[in-house]
Amino acid sequence: MATKILTEHVAVPGIETFDVYRKQGGYTAVEKALKTLSPEAVVEEVKKAGVRGRGGAGFPMGMKWSFLAKPEGVPRYLVCNADESEPGTFKDHYLMKNLPHLLIEGMIVSSFALGANKSFIYVRGELMYVIHILEKAIAEAKAAGFLGKNILGSGYDLELVVQPGGGAYICGEETALLESLEGKRGNPRNKPPFPAVKGLYQSPTVVNNVESIATTPWIINNGGDAYAAIGIGRSTGTKLISASGHIRKPGVYEIDLGVSVEDFIYADEWCGGIRPGHKLKAVVAGGSSVPILPADKILTTAAGEKRLMTYESLSDGGFQTGTMLGSGGFIVFDETACIVRNTWNFARFYHHESCGQCSPCREGTGWMEKVLHRIEYGHGHQQDLDLLVDVAKKIEGNTICPLGDAAAWPVASAIRHFRDEFQWHIDRPHEATQPGAVYKGDMAASADRLV
Amino acid sequence: MTTETNNTIQFTPERLAKANEIIARYPEGKQKSALLPLLHLLQEQEGWTPAEGMDYVAELLNIEPIEVYEVATFYTMYHVKPVGKHVIEYCRTGPCCLMGGEEVFAHLKQRLGIEAGQTTVDGQFTIKEVECLAACGMGPVFQVREKYHMHLTNERVDEIIDELSK
C-alpha cells in the first residue's frame, strides 16, 4: 500500500481553496512549527527525514539548508524552483494546480526554518494559469493570518511572491533561476560562491524544488523519522513520478521509493502496462537528460536483480548498464518508437535551450543535433557514431552548469544501447527513411530486447 | 514611480497600477526583478513586445533599454516581432511526439496553410514551435495564450481552430 504524503487529498472537491484544505488538516504544520518548534528543530526534522532534492539532483535537502550562511543583518531568501521544464516531467505542474495550499504551507514552514521573511516561487511563465491559482491561494492564506506580519502571533513575518519566468529551460538551474529572478538573462553563475552564501541579490539563498518543499508539512506533522521509515536505504519517502509515452495510463503517480520498475510499468495501480498489442522497448526513467535504457536493462540490474524505483537501484551499474531517478520523468517507448528520431529530438531540445555561455555546450549541442538529423534523414556517415560519442564526451564536465551533461547523456546512452539501430539508419538509409519505418533487426532476433 | 512618459506605448491605467504593485514586491533597489513580469504585462496589452513598449518598461524600471532588449530576446515567450491574433504554441518535444504529435502538428500546419513561425494572411493565427510544456502525460499539447489544449487529435485541432475563428 502506497503512502500518500503529498496527494492524499488531491481528489477532494475544492481542495484548491483554503477552507477545504484547512478542513483536511491543512496548515497544522504551520501552527506546530511556529508555536512549538524552533527554526533549528524544523531543520533537524527535515534532516532526519533524509528527503532528497526532487527536482532531479537528489541532494539531501536538510544538508542544503544547513549550508545556509547566516551573517547578521543580511536578509536570507528561500526560492522555490517551479520552473519545471525537463521533458517528461509534469509533476510540479500537477501539484501546484491541484494543491496550491500544500506548496504554500511548505513554503511557510521552510521559510521559517531558514529565517527568510520574503520568499519567492519562480514558476515557468507558460504556466500563467497556475500562477493565478497560486496568487489566489496566497491571498486566502494571508486573509486567514498564515502569511504577512506576526503570523499566528508568533512574531514571524513572511511575504510570498510568485514570479513568472519567460520561457527558458536553463532557468531550472538554480543560479540561472536567480539571475532570471533579478531581471536578467538566465545565464548560470560560476560556483563558488554557492547560493547558500551568495544567492539572490548576493544574499544567502536556498533554492528548492516544489515537490521537495511540499514534503515539509507532512514531515513536521509526523516527524522526520516517520518519513525516513518509508522507502529503502537513502531513498526515503515517496516520489511523484510523471509517466508518459506508450503506456495505458499516463499521469502523475505518488509512489513509495522502492517499488519495482516492473510493477510501476505493469501494475494497474500505476502505468497499467504497455498500450494494448505492443511491447516495451525502452525507458527514460528520470527526465530526458538521464540515460535511456533498453527494456531488459531497465527491468533488471546487471547482477540480475529486479530494478527498483530508488536513487541507488536506478543508478546501479553506472552509465554502462544503469541510469538515474532524476526528476522522475518516466518516458516509456514501445517497439513503434524510433530511438534515432527521439535522440535527435532531445538533442534539438538541448541545442535550443543552451544559454550559449560555454563553448562546449553552445557548439557541441548544435553539432550533435546536426549529425543526428543527418543520420535520421538518411545522410549519415560511418564515422558519425564515433563522432557523436566524442562530442558528447567533450561537452560532459566542461561547462559551468549541468545542461552540458544533460545534453551529452541521452546521446551517449542511445548509441551505447541502440548502436545497431543507428547503424541501420547509416547502412540502409532508403529503408530507414520510409514513413513509419522502425528498426526491427536485432530486436527480433534477440527476444530479451523486447519485453 | 514614473507615471509620465513620452513613449507612444504606455500601460492602461489598470495595467500601470498592476505594474506598480509588481514593482513594489521586491526589496528596495531591486526593482529590475520586475522586468519579466512587466514584459508579460506589455505582451498581454500589445500582443507582442514592440521596441517602444520595451523602452517604456525600461523607463518604469529606471534601467537602460538594452537591459530590456537583451532579456526579451533571451526568453522564448516574448514575441519580439508582430504575431497573429492567436498564437498557437505547439510542443515539439519527444514525449508529445510519441503520442502522435508530429502527425497532429502536420495537420495543424496544413489546416492553417502556414509553417511554424508564420502568420496567416488574415492575421488571425501564428504557429510557434515550442519545447516541452510540462504536460507530457496529456500530449500532444499546444497552448494558446494561457490555455493548455491537451490530448490533441486532428479533429480536436479543427474544433479549436473553428472556435477561435468565430
Q: What is the pLDDT of residues A411-431, one digit of tens each?
A: 999 999 999 999 999 999 999
pLDDT for A98 equals: 98
CB A82 within 8 A of CB A121: yes
Of A245, A252, A352, Cβ closest to residue B98: A245
Distance of CA A217 to the CA centre of its chain: 20
Phi, psi for B126 (deg, rounded to 5): -125, 135
For residue A180, give the C-alpha cell.
532570471
Closest CA to A92 of A8, A211, A215, A212: A211
- The answer, for A92 touching chain B at a CB cutoff of 8 Å, is yes
Interface test with B, best of A74, A77, A244 (most B CBs within 10 A): A244
Of B34, B97, B137, Cβ closest to residue A242: B137
Give the largest CA-CA distance in chain B.
Answer: 52
For residue A116, give the C-alpha cell.
527568510
Rg (CA), chain B: 18
With left for phi above 0 and alpha for psi between -120 and 50, is residue A406 left, alpha or beta?
alpha
- For Cα atoms A237, A171, A309, give the angle at the middle one, nearest 5 degrees: 25
Laid out side by side, the sheet with B142-144 consists of B125-130, B86-91, B142-144, B147-149
Q: How many angstroms away from the CA of A309 is the closest CA of chain B?
A: 19
Domains and CATH numbers, chain A: 18-229 (3.40.50.11540), 241-334 (3.10.20.600), 339-449 (1.20.1440.230)
Helix (H) or strand (E) holding B149: strand B147-149
For residue A216, give the C-alpha cell.
515539509
Q: What is the mean pLDDT of residues B76-104?
A: 98
Q: How many angstroms away from the CA of B151 is the closest CA of chain A?
A: 11
pLDDT for A445 equals: 43
pLDDT of residue A49 exceeding 80? yes
pLDDT of residue A448 exceeding 50? no
Which residue, chain included where needed, has cell 549541442?
Answer: A365
Residue in chain A closest to B41 (alpha carbons) equals A164
Residue in chain A closest to B63 (alpha carbons) equals A183
Q: What confidence tens digit (pLDDT) does each residue in A124-150 have?
A: 999 999 999 999 999 999 999 999 999
Give me the numbers of helices (H) and strands (E) for chain A, helices first please: 21, 11
Q: What 8-state DSSP symbol labels residue A436?
A: T
Q: What confidence tens digit (pLDDT) does each residue in B7-16 have?
A: 789 999 999 9
Q: HSE on the CB side for A99, CA within 13 Å?
A: 27
Helices (H), A302-383: 311-314, 318-321, 339-353, 359-376
pLDDT for A441 equals: 74
B88 DSSP β-pair partners: B127, B144
